[in-house]
Amino acid sequence: MSAPLINEKMPLIIGEIGAIPKTKKPGSGVDFAFRGIDDVMNHLNPVLTKHNVYVWVELAEYSLTSREVVKKFNNGDTKISLVYKAVVKIVLHFIAADGSEMHTEEVAMSEDYSDKAYTQAMSMAYKYAILRVLCIPTAELQDPDSKPAVEPSETSAKPTVKEAKEKTTSPKPKQKKALVKMDGNDMTADYINVITKLKSGMRKIEDVLAFYTVSPELEAELREYIPAQAQ
């Protein structure tokens, strides 16, 4: 009895899919590099087509809730907005021409001030399920032996014992990490982690500001997640 065709096709797809590098997207509103859902789908489509494998996305569970958030401005004005929270669980099926398949599950959550929370959560779940199942790297791996050895300069002066000791003992200043809300259509893991701990009382806003660089607008938004009894 022959093995299911999907068992043969998946290793071939993984071997051919290659890397999907993280790039900066002009007009995306963020200044860091990331892999968006379009990058993943455009990269994957020709390889799946070549091997006659298609992907079926099954929505197993979902919830969509909303809550009111009051924004306070420096001039004393306030604005009430609705924040939508979507939580989805998908089952991703990879199906070969003989009907054999393999599947994986993924859960994602997104919050948004408009109607994009549901689609953001779906895109996030789909993208990370694909990346993990197919083990897609972020960039082409380079053989370290392919790079020429760097010869030390004969004229370069060696540091003195005192200089070397000062260099090793001097503490390096800690640099804050910028807290970014969105990664393309998805919320960043750092942002989700911060608001979760603020809402539960596990972290104070002062702790967040000590670790992250936060814009004034984002700080005002984060303060809305602090429980009333903790303010």
- What pLDDT, in 10s, does the model give residues 134-164? 999 887 555 545 555 555 554 456 666 666 6
Rounded to whole angstroms, the Cα distance separating 96 from 83 reads 40
- How sure is the predictor about 183, in pLDDT bands with cuts at 50, 70 and 90? confident
Check whether residue 41 and residue 127 sit in a common domain: yes
Question: Are 31 and 128 in a shared domain?
Answer: yes
Residue 102 lies in a domain: yes
Q: Is residue 159 part of a domain?
A: no
Residues 123 and 192 grouped into a single domain:
no
Q: Higher confidence at residue 89 or residue 29? A: 89
Banded model confidence at residue 52, pLDDT cuts 50, 70, 90: very high
Percent of the chain exceeding pLDDT 90 equals 36
127 with 31, same domain?
yes
For residue 48, give its domain range: 5-133
Task: Please tell me whether residues 9 and 112 are part of one structural domain.
Answer: yes
Question: Which is nearest to 22 in space by CA: 14, 12, 30?
Answer: 30
What is the model's pLDDT at position 205? 85
The residue among 81 and 229 whose pLDDT is bigger is: 81
> Residue 142 contacts by C-beta under 8 Å, 6 or more apart in sequence?
none
Query: Who has greater pLDDT, 10 or 192?
Result: 10
Same domain, 34 and 111: yes
Q: Is the CB of residue 112 less than 8 Å from the CB of residue 65?
A: no
Residues 123 and 32 in one domain: yes
Q: Is 99 left (phi over 0), alpha (psi -120 to 50) or beta?
A: left
The 8-class DSSP code of residue 113 comes to S
Is residue 92 in a domain? Answer: yes
Residue 154 lies in a domain: no
Q: Which of the four pLDDT bands, split at 50, 70 and 90, describes residue 116?
A: confident
Confidence at residue 12, expressed as pLDDT on a 0 to 100 scale: 95
Considering the domain architecture, whether residues 128 and 194 belong to the same structural domain is answered as no
* Structural domains in the chain (count): 2
Q: Is residue 177 part of a domain?
A: no
Q: Write down which residue in 133, 167, 198 finishes a domain.
A: 133
152: in domain: no
* Residue 124 within a domain: yes
pLDDT at residue 85 in the model: 93
Helices 189-200/216-223 angle, 10° precision? 40
Q: What is the predicted pLDDT for the residue at 3?
A: 75
**CA atoms in the 13 A half-sphere facing the CB of 217:** 2
Mean pLDDT on 185-212: 80
Q: What is the pLDDT of residue 127?
A: 93
What local confidence, expressed as pLDDT, does residue 171 receive?
Answer: 59
Has residue 161 been placed in a domain?
Answer: no
